[in-house]
């Protein structure tokens, strides 16, 4: 089942990059909790709604992409994803890889977290976007 989850995750991110976020939205359970980074580099817990809302900051950019470049399955529930993230606002660019960890129960992500390099918050500071 975990390989199916990894495939679903990869497909959902690819669809979201083409403008169809429905697969990604349905992949995350309604009661999901996500431990993730804010644009200033702090970590906080997000509900599903807050997590998806945080992606709205990408609309402020000239370009953004999220590409799953590799997944690893761990046991029966865990999928880690290396995600190449590209962000550009004017001449300020970020092109790096982040790691996202997803715990799947019955085909949906119930908990997750991410780790980003320090260039993540450096980009947002240079772009002048605080949230």
Going 68 to 82 to 109 to 36, the CA torsion angle's sign is: negative
Question: Among 46-50, 90-94, 107-111, which stretch is predicted with the lowest mean pLDDT?
Answer: 46-50
Alpha-carbon gap, residue 53 to 70, rounded angstroms: 25
**What is the rounded distance in angstroms from the CA atom of residue 108 to the CA atom of residue 118?**
29
1-26 tens-digit pLDDT: 689 999 999 999 999 889 898 998 99
Total number of domains in the chain: 1
What is the per-residue pLDDT for 1? 62
**pLDDT score of 91:** 96
pLDDT of residue 52: 84
The domain of 119 spans 2-127
Q: Which contiguous run of DSSP H or E holds residue 100?
A: strand 92-105
| Mean pLDDT, rounded, of the chain | 93
Model confidence at 131: pLDDT above 80: no
User: What CATH number should be reported for the domain holding residue 74?
Assistant: 3.10.450.50
């Amino acid at each position: 089942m975990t390989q199916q989850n990894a495939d679903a995750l990869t497909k959902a991110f690819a669809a979201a990059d083409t403008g169809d976020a429905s697969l990604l939205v349905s992949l995350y359970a309604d009661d999901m909790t996500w431990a993730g980074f804010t644009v200033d580099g702090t970590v906080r817990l997000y509900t599903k709604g807050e997590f998806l809302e945080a992606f709205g900051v990408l609309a402020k950019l000239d370009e953004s992409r999220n590409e799953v470049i590799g997944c690893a399955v761990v046991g029966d529930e865990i999928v880690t994803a290396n995600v190449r993230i590209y962000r550009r606002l004017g001449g300020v660019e970020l092109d790096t890889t982040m790691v996202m960890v997803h715990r799947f129960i019955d085909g949906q992500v119930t908990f997750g977290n991410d780790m980003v390099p320090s260039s993540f918050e450096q980009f947002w500071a240079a772009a002048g976007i605080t949230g």
